[in-house]
Amino acid sequence: MSGYNVAIVGATGAVGARMIKMVEQTSLPVNSVKLLASSRSAGKQLQFNGKPLTVEETVPESFEGIDLALFSAGGSVSKKFAPEAVKRGAVVVDNTSAFRMDPKIPLVVPEVNPEALKAHHGIVANPNCSTIQMVVALEPIRKAFGLKRVIVSTYQAVSGAGNRALQELRDETQAYLDGKDMEAHILPVSGDKKHYPIAFNALPQIDVFEEDGYTHEEWKMIHETKKIMLNDMDSKDIKVTATCVRIPVPVAHSESIYFEVEDPKATVKDIQDVLAKAPGIVLQDDPDHQIYPQAHNAEGSRDTFVGRIRPDQETPQAFQMWDVSDNMLKGAAWNSVQIAETMEKMGLLHMQ
Amino acid sequence: MSGYNVAIVGATGAVGARMIKMVEQTSLPVNSVKLLASSRSAGKQLQFNGKPLTVEETVPESFEGIDLALFSAGGSVSKKFAPEAVKRGAVVVDNTSAFRMDPKIPLVVPEVNPEALKAHHGIVANPNCSTIQMVVALEPIRKAFGLKRVIVSTYQAVSGAGNRALQELRDETQAYLDGKDMEAHILPVSGDKKHYPIAFNALPQIDVFEEDGYTHEEWKMIHETKKIMLNDMDSKDIKVTATCVRIPVPVAHSESIYFEVEDPKATVKDIQDVLAKAPGIVLQDDPDHQIYPQAHNAEGSRDTFVGRIRPDQETPQAFQMWDVSDNMLKGAAWNSVQIAETMEKMGLLHMQ
């Protein structure tokens, strides 16, 4: 049977599990799937399309004969092994931050900048989850009305920090309900010095702090948005700033997005009409019937849900909206597989 | 013994319980305390300073001999009984929205506009919780640097919707952990048509929707802020807009506040210095040591905690901060009792 030989690196992780599902459901012809992870996870049994598959340790030779390698095992793994995969003829779609800011490497959301894929040299970077769902909604607005400025505050799910963080949320939550002390060992950032409970709390730190007082997650939202929408991570054409906050939700990020457009005639109705027709977007915007996007409803969907679109009553050309998407699917596994599907349609993916 | 005769209306509610505590701890001399509620709650036994006290039904005659009446039993109760209390010589501090937008009634946060108390005619309105903690932090900034514009996104606690909503959060949370369906009967708004789970979710609706697509909570944040800071609920001197969101936190609201100042020379350090000295504020702003305000730590404190102050890197005179406070104390019970204490210091509170 003719089809692509696919490797999933980081198959035992929270995103890896979704990557397996997305490859099961992909429109790409798949000949074989190889599940890769660290030596610690090697030997584990997972399933692909109902059949057992053994996880193998990632080594350079793992990528012999691989056409498509999906990476989500941390930046250091990508830096070490993505070039090995490319050397052996694979296209790499990398879901870590390892290559995102490399100007030679496309950073792609298929609804926004598929053309950037043409310039790839083997590696395509998948943006950060919180960026993806924002630009999917902002790009149709930018195209129709121009975009001057974005101010976003996020309400991010715990799954973005991995399976251990999710277990920590469950453990802390049960401890709280039982009147016991909550123990934090992972969040807000597993590698940082201090850890705080996320259950019944809101943590205004995702990723480590930069010198300017922004977290690296906020930095990513600012500069990835510019690279994806304007092909320049430092572009001044759209002003972007962000506050990133973790809340006790397992899956699906929510975002409060304030934006200013160039077109002085743009109305809420115009923006709703544009978003209703935009790819990857589901408009849920009917306050009279209490219809608006919710994390609880977005889990498991590949779409980005947008609602609560309304004008700033005092600043012309300024609007607000509420944007929710499954951070593990559109924010990670689905966007990665969607990149591969888009590359195939553009003739950029090949069987060896 | 000489002291004030105090009535607490809505004593059995979530805020009422905190009002009892705040009156126990007040610097005001207290002669007697009367706990009032609906006929349904009459006869319940509560404690004041360790002694049992029976809850009585609120009737006009309840206020005979009362010097200070603290109301937190819903707008309709305030509209009915606050004038009865005033008629009998009491000063009313009302924690509902009944009188907040009446231009003749002062809307007061003691750190911000104590002078407004002088114009009272018996009733003083306590602002909405989410407004109070924001203006406590914005007022010192306005005084020092001028303030042009505010864009806020909130992360609000469930206790703001009362004790039944808190129980709903617990019940839904346990159901989720047990793999059962969550049942929603109260949130987002008990009187609205549809109800959604708050556990492990984020709900972008607090209070009912207005015709312009804003919720009434957002409307309150916009217009109360203008009334408190500028003495005009429709002032154009400061632009304010808001997105209000409920998250699964029991107590303490968090707020992501974006603001633009008039002074082109204001720096983060300047703003930190001003806030560090401001009344009612605790500055928690040390990213290097992961020090920032958290709901989990603010519960039980009367202070407002502010941190993560940083400049918008692309817009001059624009900054962001993270503002957290106990919505039941500074946002409700403490601000009410603080108003009474302030009135006493100003000679505006009298024993009959």
Assign residue A184 the CATH number of its domain.
3.30.360.10
Q: What is the pLDDT of residue B352?
A: 86
Please report residues of A whose CB lies closer than 8 A to that of B188: 290
Residue B80 located in a structural domain:
yes
If pLDDT is split at 50, 70 and 90, which confidence band does A1 have?
low
Residue A211 located in a structural domain:
yes
Assign residue B27 the CATH number of its domain.
3.40.50.720
The angle that helices A163-177 and B163-177 make with each other, rounded to 10 degrees, is 130
For residues B339 and B291, state if they share a domain.
Answer: no
Q: Per the structure block, which two tokens stand in for B9?
A: 């209306």
Q: CB-CB: which of B177, B245, B307 is closest to A173?
A: B177
What is the C-alpha separation between A95 and B299, in angstroms, rounded? 38
The residue type found at B342 is T
Please report residues of B whose CB lies closer than 8 A to that of A188: 290
Largest pairwise CA distance in chain A: 62
Task: Average the pLDDT over A326-342 and give the result.
Answer: 98
Where is the binding site for phosphate, in residues of B? Answer: 100
Q: What is the pLDDT of residue A174?
A: 98
pLDDT in tens, A276-296: 999 999 999 999 999 999 999
State the distance between the two ends of chain B, measured CA to CA, in whole angstroms: 14
HEC string of B62-117 equals HHCCCCEEEECCCHHHHHHHHHHHHHCCCEEEECCCCCCCCCCCCECCCCCCHHHH
Where is the binding site, in residues of B? Answer: 12-15, 40-41, 100, 156, 159-160, 246, 327
Q: Per the CB < 8 Å rule, is B209 touching A240?
A: no
For residues B82 and B138, state if they share a domain.
Answer: no
Q: What is the pLDDT of residue B1?
A: 54
What is the C-alpha separation between B107 and B66, in angstroms, rounded? 22
For chain B, count helices (H), then strands (E): 8, 14
Residue B351 located in a structural domain:
no
The residue type found at B319 is F
Q: Per the CB < 8 Å rule, is A247 touching B202?
A: yes
If pLDDT is split at 50, 70 and 90, which confidence band does A19 have?
very high
For residues B47 and B22, state if they share a domain.
Answer: yes
Pick the residue from chain B with its C-alpha nearest to A309: B213
Structural domain range at position B206:
131-327
For residues B323 and B176, state if they share a domain.
Answer: yes
What is the C-alpha separation between A103 and A98, in angstroms, rounded? 12
For residues B168 and B66, state if they share a domain.
Answer: no
If pLDDT is split at 50, 70 and 90, which confidence band does A352 have?
confident
For residues B317 and B195, state if they share a domain.
Answer: yes
Given phi > 0 = left and psi -120 to 50 = alpha, else beta, which region is A293?
beta
Q: Are A233 and A219 in contact (CB under 8 A)?
A: no
Share of chain A above pLDDT 90, in %: 99
Q: Per the structure block, which two tokens stand in for B258?
A: 């974006």
Residue of B133, B147, B151, B153 to mutate when probing chain A, most A C-beta within 10 A = B153
Cα B182 to Cα A276, B172, B175, B196: the distances in Å are 30, 5, 6, 9
Q: What is the pLDDT of residue A156?
A: 98
Residue A350 located in a structural domain:
no
What is the C-alpha separation between A294 and B157, in angstroms, rounded? 17
State the sign of the Cα–Cα–Cα–Cα dihedral A13, A329, A94, A90.
Answer: positive
Q: CB-CB: which of B151, B202, B292 is closest to A254?
A: B202
Residue of B200, B251, B299 to mutate when probing chain A, most A C-beta within 10 A = B200
- Is A244 among the residues known to form the active site? no
Residue B12 located in a structural domain:
yes
Alpha-carbon gap: A26 to the closest alpha carbon of chain B (Å): 29
Alpha-carbon gap: A349 to the closest alpha carbon of chain B (Å): 39
Q: Are A193 and A168 in contact (CB under 8 A)?
A: no
What is the C-alpha separation between A145 and A138, in angstroms, rounded? 10
pLDDT in tens, A243-274: 999 999 999 999 999 999 999 999 999 999 99
pLDDT in tens, A29-40: 999 999 999 999
Q: Per the CB < 8 Å rule, is B314 touching A214?
A: no
What is the C-alpha separation between B93 and B336, in angstroms, rounded? 6
For residues A187 and A306, state if they share a domain.
Answer: yes
Which residue in the list A120, A216, A253, A296 is annotated as catalytic?
A: A253
For residues A148 and A90, state if they share a domain.
Answer: no
Q: Per the structure block, which two tokens stand in for A75?
A: 């930046």
- Is A253 among the residues known to form the active site? yes
The pair phi, psi for residue B233, each rounded to 5°, is: -65, -15
Helix (H) or strand (E) holding B259: strand B253-261
Task: Average the pLDDT over A138-155 and give the result.
Answer: 98
State the sign of the Cα–Cα–Cα–Cα dihedral A109, A111, A113, A119.
Answer: positive
Please report residues of A whose CB lies closer than 8 A to that of B193: 289-290
Q: Per the CB < 8 Å rule, is B290 touching A188?
A: yes
**Number of other CB atoms surrounding residue A304 within 10 Å:** 29
For residues B142 and B215, state if they share a domain.
Answer: yes
Residue of A290, A322, A323 to mutate when probing chain B, most B C-beta within 10 A = A290
Count of A–B CB contacts within 8 Å? 176
Q: What is the pLDDT of residue A217?
A: 98
Alpha-carbon gap: A277 to the closest alpha carbon of chain B (Å): 21
Task: Average the pLDDT over A75-100 and give the result.
Answer: 98
Q: What is the pLDDT of residue A258?
A: 99
Look up tokens 């879901």; give the residue. Answer: A95
Residue B277 located in a structural domain:
yes
Q: CB-CB: which of A200, A204, A287 is closest to B248?
A: A200
Q: Per the CB < 8 Å rule, is B314 touching A193?
A: no
ipTM above 0.85, yes or no: yes
Task: Average the pLDDT over A156-171 and give the result.
Answer: 97
Q: Are B158 and B166 in contact (CB under 8 A)?
A: yes
What is the C-alpha separation between A78 and B88, in angstroms, rounded? 75
Please report residues of B whose CB lies closer than 8 A to that of A313: 212, 214, 222, 241
Residue B352 located in a structural domain:
no
∠ CA B337-B343-B348, rounded to 5°: 140
pLDDT in tens, A300-312: 999 999 999 999 9
Residues of chain B with pLDDT under 70: 1
For residues A135 and A183, state if they share a domain.
Answer: yes
Residue A100 located in a structural domain:
yes
Q: Per the CB < 8 Å rule, is B250 touching A200?
A: yes
For residue A91, the cross-strand partners are A68
Cα A305 to Cα A128, A281, B8, B64: the distances in Å are 17, 6, 45, 56
Please report residues of A whose CB lies closer than 8 A to that of B309: 213
Q: Per the CB < 8 Å rule, is B313 touching A151?
A: no
For residues A214 and A283, state if they share a domain.
Answer: yes
Which residue in the list A120, A121, A129, A289 is annotated as catalytic?
A: A129
For residues A143 and A240, state if they share a domain.
Answer: yes
Query: How many domains, chain A?
Result: 2
Q: Are A268 and A309 in contact (CB under 8 A)?
A: yes
DSSP B120-176: -SSEEEPPPHHHHHHHHHHHHHHHHH-EEEEEEEEEB-GGGG-HHHHHHHHHHHHHH
Q: Are B259 and B230 in contact (CB under 8 A)?
A: no
